[in-house]
Structure 1
Amino acid sequence: MRLLQYILFVFFITGISNAQQVKITGKVTDDESLPLPGVNISIKGNTNGTQSDFDGNYTILTNIGDTLVFSYVGFEIAEEKVTAASSLMHIKLIPDSSQLEEVVVTAYGSKRVRKSTSYAVSSNKSKRRGRKHRQRRIKKSSGVQVALEIRGANPASRTKQPLYVVDGVPVDNKDIAVVNAIDPSKIAKVEMLKSKKETSIYGTKAKHGCIVITTHSGNYKVQNDESYREIVENDFKRVHMAPLSTFSIDVDKASYSNIRRMINTGVKIPADAVKIEEMINYFNYQYAQPKDEHSFAIHTEYALTPWNMKTQLVKIGLKGKEIPQHEIPASNLVFLIDVSGSMGNSNKLPLLKKAFKLLVNQLREKDKVSIVVYAGAAGMVLKPTSGANKYEINQALQNLEAGGSTAGGEGIRLAYKIAKENFIKNGNNRVILATDGDFNVGISSNKDMKKLIEEKRKSDVFLTCLGFGMGNYKDSKLETLADTGNGNHAYIDTMQEAQRVLGKEFGGTMYTIAKDVKIQVEFNPSKVQAYRLIGYENRLLANEDFIDDTKDAGELGSGHTVTALYEVIPVGVTNKYLKGIADLKYTNSTINKEYGDELLTVKFRYKKPQEKKSIEMVHVLHTDTKTSVSQDFNFAASIAWFGMKLRGSKYIENQNIKDIIVLAETNKEKDNQGYKAEFIRLMNSYQGL
């Protein structure tokens, strides 16, 4: 009897030991120690599992004696036995040479493995063996993640893309990026067809294979309905008829990151998406800070125009005073976040939540944050909370899920109401709107939204608009809101851009040092026949608006630089862009010779954030002090040149993109963050599109 009891006791203890549960944490990397997001980690012989996060980290509860299986498309499956010493388990996956090398089509499940969708994968081995390739995917909390990618593809080889077919309808090449952004939860199956028999029904467009996507509804419509405000390129104006050029400054940078996204994904770039001033102002320049009582310093220089040797290029640069972050007044921030159904894609709400964590990391104890969300209706999900409570703020962000229609107007009203209720006198009061701009419930037109923001800006609450996603991105609407709401506009396509806008440039993005900033340039007719402003087409002002303090204009943040370029036709130069006009009968066109050494005069007006009266500065560009131009001048010129080429400008005499690249390459000094080098890589990629 005692022996039986002893045997039962040992059996019981052994059972407890074998069933002992442990928490395993670790990181999954590739053979070059780079993190792999979205790796499936499952318990062998069990339906339980998880996935690695964006940084390759994972956590899973399992039992001693279980075997963990690590699987990732393009890599060999790894298995690891769980022991009592396995609480920390780092895994390095080895590339699988037998995996698909030309086209990769994958669909994989979420944390709950039993909910993974069915899928089909065919392989087409490439002759380009040994070419390194890495796919990065962001984990989704639910649904199915789909990745469609040509392995080893580059812009020059995009003519070899397979044909995409969604629910039986072939998709144009220009909309392939939109296909990648289909809500994963709507996809039932992904297949690849590659034999002639399989692809014959789709004709010659499918000669490089065919990727067939079937959705649950069976009638998904792929369409690219991004919208941009029309831009009419500025023409040359004769100085003796229009000596003044007046415009509102612009520090928005959304156009450049949006164009970068299009080039990187092989999407055709709409001309109206190219805002040259935003491309130029994306980059920082080495302008000296103000040394007097003003919040700004003005810098000017000029030289021959690189794309037209018969004209001259004038650069006007502004530098705002840099305010150390600890000196920025207390902030009252309201995060206004779009959680409608259109935000479900991985490059929208999931990216947004990670991006906002970078902003939260910058907050101080004296700052406070509220979170308002809107879909079919609007509501507050986080009451005003001190910046010291970062965990609470981040948890509220993490809990956000997408679904429903888009009542943007209602969300804006609630956000401004909360900002006003928590207003900090002499503080930094701001609503931060994050959306794809696709408002479709209640007030939604650009005109109505502008009217709403005009009303709300009277509260002295500023507005920042952050755009996310593709396919239905409404750049025109966000530009209108930011311009009207005393704010700025950025487009966030990657975590790299999020780090730039919400991390590195936090002060400039979130703290305004001047509002209603205007520039008026007067050209000397004894030196300049005609001029044209490059860019800023949607920022032009009437000349009388310059001294009108009730006229809304642009805003500048701490440390911001702003650059404007004019192309001018000197006196005595014959130019085909300047056509003759009839003699004037009533106007005296006599030129004042008293200012013969002046090329132009820049007048600059701005208001301090809490004031109603503007301050004026004046700067004169003389011709007798001309020296060699800076590398900043030449790099800005290369950006303008490329932007004009993207727009198909009629004013470019030299269309050779290699000359643009050379100009940028030889003038990319002080590129610590690598943004200028990235611009050169983009131009090289664009050559193949």
Structure 2
Amino acid sequence: MKLVPAWSIPRWVLPGFAAAAVGGLIIVGVILPSLFRSRQALPPAPPVGVAANVLQPPSTPPSVPAPATVEYPKQAGQAAPAVDQFKGGPPAEVRNERAATAQEDALSREELKNEIAAQAGGAVETARNSVQGQQGQQGQFEGTLGRLLKAQKEAAPPAPAAPPPPYPQSFIGVGERDQARASVGVGGDIAIRIPIPVRPDLDRRPRFNTEAYDRIEDNPFRSVAENPLATFSIDVDTASYANVRRFLSQNQFPPKDSVRIEELINYFTYDYPQPTGKHPIAVHTEVAAAPWKPDHRLVRIGVKAKDIDMSRRPPTNLVFLIDVSGSMMPPEKLPLLKSALKLLVDKLTENDRVAIAVYAGNSGLVLPSTTGDKKEIIIQTLDRLEAGGSTNGASGIQLAYDTAVANFIRGGVNRVILCTDGDFNVGITNQGDLTRLIEDKATSGVFLSVLGFGMGNLKDSTMEKLADKGNGNYAYIDSLNEGRKVLVEEMGATLMTVAKDVKIQVDFNPAQVNAYRLIGYENRVLRNEDFNDDTKDAGDMGAGHTVTALFEIVPRGIEIALPAVDASKYQQPAAFDRRSGSNEMLTVRVRYKLPDASESTRFDVPLADRGASFDSSSADYRFAAAVAEFGMILRESPHKGAASLDHVISVADRGKGADKNGYREEFVKLARRARAIKELR
């Protein structure tokens, strides 16, 4: 390449080069820094999607009062009664009660609809104001840009930038991020406290809804001639009910797969008699007409675990395993978690021990095993926890079980209480490996309770499986009241196991039953051969627990369309023997193990159908049926028949019974809210 001497360049070109150089210096030194500072001064833009929906009310208004603050009507009455089961119609007192509440129900329905509509309108107005504010900010920005162009001409030097605000400090018991390198031992004498800067721009709170639920297909009707046995594991989890309540309180129907009907039913306790024999659990049965399909029968199987005098309860060895990752920052997560655990700490004594392990990117022991009478130390440790970082749940699980085993109390309660949103994203993250890890740890004799918190990234499916494989229970804590219910009111049921691996097998009499369907328990169904296999895991029952299962029965002589199966060429259908002619509808078989046993014990309970009507059944029976009907409506079950929210409200309201803690009244309010939401959709 031939170089051109500078003196040979025409003189008219040199001013252009100089002007371009000066312009570049002005852009780099004036415009870009000023634009950056003005951008920093602007408030954050509203969430994506607000401006697009400003002219139309959102289908799920974001601002809804919590259930505890909403004033509901006293009584909903009955707008569309189901078929009466009394011959000749219901008694006069029932007719009078329904007539007296009809007018009040119409008023209460309108009040609730108006409340929800007003909340939706308020959300729209808030969105409109937000967009208008954003437009005003845009105008201010354009004015700022004009002033910057003027400053370019004047070549004014940029103002010095303000120093960034200091980052808040996070207290966790481990060197949690790459910025902090620490070697943390397990079982030390003191808690390790390391202040670590939390970057607001690295906040890991979920920005999108990533909640995960397993798909549920309603159990189908099965022919007794081909499938005379139904086998399943009991389920004492209650998380689904609290989660459904959370959605309805936000004026939206829950996802279908978040509705597990057995957990809705088992959220409530029922007045089953205490076990009186040698077994720690007892079975009680009842049968009447199915309210949504009167020509079908509805069988209730209730299992009651023996109560334990809490003043004489065995000592406990607890490990609180707490998720302190960045996703746990919102107030309904870590702050609520700490408040709930303090309620449990307040009930502990000098015979109990508590350790606290935490995990985020790594795990650490922030409080070694400490006696329960040192409440101030335990509570101070909880108060110092703050959220930040990723989520390595597997390392925390390993540490928590190691700590529980190191302080194991023979003859006592040894349990890990995992508190998380279930969003494991570092280390072992897939469900298969996590559940295998829990299965391996469950052989140590340490049980597991899982408490779920928060919304937006709730991994319900993962937490349910961990509790199932860890010989434990799963609850969702959406409020401090729910924390009090799980950790204080039901402390014995949550912490003290009296029977483990409880399985139920129902043997149906083909002379009495044409077909049957188990309502709920879709992910608890077992193979028939699993009933006698003591290596197969099943649900555990704590002190005072009640478990209820419902079967919808198609009696002999009532036709039902079932998938056809071609007959075998080599085998004939089994013929009825003489026992088929008895008046027994079915026999309930139960297997369980004592907490420290490896072999199971079995006992049987037969049931005969006396032809009882639905209205003549017990209050507990009617209430459980109403909750099941509610669940089928939320799930849009193909087997819901004539089920309606009006009937749910009417039956549940009349079946509340004593309702000591008001949980059944709360259910009636939720059903009314669901009805109002449905009518506004």
Q: Judge same fold: TM > 0.5, yes or no.
A: yes
Cα displacement (A) at 1:682: 0.5
Cα displacement (A) at 1:220: 9.6
CA–CA distance in structure 1, aligned partners of residues 528 and 537 of structure 2 = 14
Of 344, 356, 378 in structure 1, the residue corresponding to residue 363 of structure 2 is: 378
Cα displacement (A) at 1:594: 2.5
CA–CA distance in structure 2, aligned partners of residues 157 and 488 of structure 1 = 39
Aligned length: 513
Cα displacement (A) at 1:235: 0.1
Which runs of no fewer than 5 residues in structure 1 stay unpaired?
1-116, 122-132, 138-150, 171-189, 202-214
| Residues 1:412 and 2:376 are matched in the alignment | no
Query: Given that residues 529 and 571 in structure 1 are in contact (C-alpha distance below 8 angstroms), is that contact kept between their aligned partners in structure 2?
Result: yes
CA–CA distance in structure 1, aligned partners of residues 398 and 499 of structure 2 = 25
Query: Given that residues 119 and 191 in structure 1 are in contact (C-alpha distance below 8 angstroms), is that contact kept between their aligned partners in structure 2?
Result: no
Q: Corresponding residue for 1:632? A: 620
Judged with a 3 Å threshold, the aligned counterparts in structure 2 of structure 1 residues 157 and 302 are, in CA distance, closer, same or farther, namely: farther
Q: Corresponding residue for 2:490? A: 505
Judged with a 3 Å threshold, the aligned counterparts in structure 2 of structure 1 residues 374 and 606 are, in CA distance, closer, same or farther, namely: same
Could you list the per-position Cα deviations for residues 380-438 of structure 1 after superposition, in whole angstroms to 9, with x for gaps in the alignment?
A: 00011000111111111111010011010000000000111111111110000000001
Query: Given that residues 155 and 686 in structure 1 are in contact (C-alpha distance below 8 angstroms), is that contact kept between their aligned partners in structure 2?
Result: no
CA–CA distance in structure 2, aligned partners of residues 587 and 451 of structure 1 = 42
Query: Given that residues 64 and 250 in structure 2 are in contact (C-alpha distance below 8 angstroms), is that contact kept between their aligned partners in structure 1?
Result: no
More helix by share: 2
Query: Given that residues 518 and 606 in structure 1 are in contact (C-alpha distance below 8 angstroms), is that contact kept between their aligned partners in structure 2?
Result: yes
| Residues 1:259 and 2:244 are matched in the alignment | yes
CA–CA distance in structure 2, aligned partners of residues 461 and 222 of structure 1 = 36
Cα displacement (A) at 1:134: 11
Cα displacement (A) at 1:163: 4.7
Judged with a 3 Å threshold, the aligned counterparts in structure 2 of structure 1 residues 412 and 681 are, in CA distance, closer, same or farther, namely: same
Of 293, 305, 319 in structure 1, the residue corresponding to residue 290 of structure 2 is: 305
Query: Given that residues 204 and 390 in structure 2 are in contact (C-alpha distance below 8 angstroms), is that contact kept between their aligned partners in structure 1?
Result: no
1:297-446 equivalences under 5 Å are 297-446=282-431
Q: Corresponding residue for 1:567? A: 552
Secondary structure of the 2:243 match is helix
CA–CA distance in structure 2, aligned partners of residues 120 and 590 of structure 1 = 73
Judged with a 3 Å threshold, the aligned counterparts in structure 2 of structure 1 residues 366 and 220 are, in CA distance, closer, same or farther, namely: closer
Query: Given that residues 156 and 688 in structure 1 are in contact (C-alpha distance below 8 angstroms), is that contact kept between their aligned partners in structure 2?
Result: no
Could you list the per-position Cα deviations for residues 416-474 of structure 1 after superposition, in whole angstroms to 9, with x for gaps in the alignment?
A: 00111111111110000000001111001111100100111110100000000000001
Of 593, 607, 611 in structure 2, the residue corresponding to residue 607 of structure 1 is: 593
Q: Which has the larger radius of gyration?
A: 2
More strand by share: 1
Cα displacement (A) at 1:152: 11
Q: After alignment, is 257-266 or 593-602 more displaced?
A: 593-602
1:23-62 equivalences under 5 Å are none
Q: Corresponding residue for 2:19? A: none
Secondary structure of the 2:606 match is strand
CA–CA distance in structure 1, aligned partners of residues 293 and 674 of structure 2 = 22
Secondary structure of the 2:558 match is coil
Of 624, 632, 650 in structure 1, the residue corresponding to residue 638 of structure 2 is: 650
Query: Given that residues 526 and 593 in structure 1 are in contact (C-alpha distance below 8 angstroms), is that contact kept between their aligned partners in structure 2?
Result: no
Amino acid at match of 1:629: S
Give the TM-score, by structure 1 length: 0.70
CA–CA distance in structure 2, aligned partners of residues 323 and 555 of structure 1 = 16
Query: Given that residues 526 and 592 in structure 1 are in contact (C-alpha distance below 8 angstroms), is that contact kept between their aligned partners in structure 2?
Result: no
Amino acid at match of 1:384: S
1:522-537 equivalences under 5 Å are 522-537=507-522
Judged with a 3 Å threshold, the aligned counterparts in structure 2 of structure 1 residues 322 and 217 are, in CA distance, closer, same or farther, namely: closer
Cα displacement (A) at 1:687: 1.6
CA–CA distance in structure 2, aligned partners of residues 218 and 281 of structure 1 = 37
| Greater relative contact order, per chain length (Cα 8 Å cut-off, separation 6+) | 2
Of 518, 537, 562 in structure 2, the residue corresponding to residue 578 of structure 1 is: 562
Q: Corresponding residue for 2:259? A: 274
Query: Given that residues 157 and 688 in structure 1 are in contact (C-alpha distance below 8 angstroms), is that contact kept between their aligned partners in structure 2?
Result: no
CA–CA distance in structure 1, aligned partners of residues 288 and 622 of structure 2 = 9
Judged with a 3 Å threshold, the aligned counterparts in structure 2 of structure 1 residues 164 and 522 are, in CA distance, closer, same or farther, namely: farther
Cα displacement (A) at 1:221: 7.5
Could you list the per-position Cα deviations for residues 633-658 of structure 1 after superposition, in whole angstroms to 9, with x for gaps in the alignment?
A: 11000000010110010111214210
Secondary structure of the 1:397 match is helix
Which runs of no fewer than 5 residues in structure 2 stay unpaired?
1-41, 47-62, 68-111, 140-199
| Residues 1:224 and 2:209 are matched in the alignment | yes
Q: Corresponding residue for 1:641? A: 629
Of 631, 648, 664 in structure 1, the residue corresponding to residue 652 of structure 2 is: 664
Amino acid at match of 1:448: D
Query: Given that residues 281 and 562 in structure 1 are in contact (C-alpha distance below 8 angstroms), is that contact kept between their aligned partners in structure 2?
Result: yes
Q: After alignment, is 677-686 or 220-229 more displaced?
A: 220-229
CA–CA distance in structure 1, aligned partners of residues 359 and 275 of structure 2 = 42
Judged with a 3 Å threshold, the aligned counterparts in structure 2 of structure 1 residues 616 and 160 are, in CA distance, closer, same or farther, namely: same
Could you list the per-position Cα deviations for residues 492-532 of structure 1 after superposition, in whole angstroms to 9, with x for gaps in the alignment?
A: 00011011001111111111111111000000000000001
CA–CA distance in structure 2, aligned partners of residues 555 and 290 of structure 1 = 16
Judged with a 3 Å threshold, the aligned counterparts in structure 2 of structure 1 residues 440 and 164 are, in CA distance, closer, same or farther, namely: farther
Cα displacement (A) at 1:362: 1.3
Q: Corresponding residue for 2:17? A: none
Amino acid at match of 1:528: V
Could you list the per-position Cα deviations for residues 108-147 of structure 1 after superposition, in whole angstroms to 9, with x for gaps in the alignment?
A: xxxxxxxxx97999xxxxxxxxxxx99799xxxxxxxxxx
Judged with a 3 Å threshold, the aligned counterparts in structure 2 of structure 1 residues 164 and 519 are, in CA distance, closer, same or farther, namely: farther
Amino acid at match of 1:154: E
After superposition, the CA RMSD in angstroms is 3.1
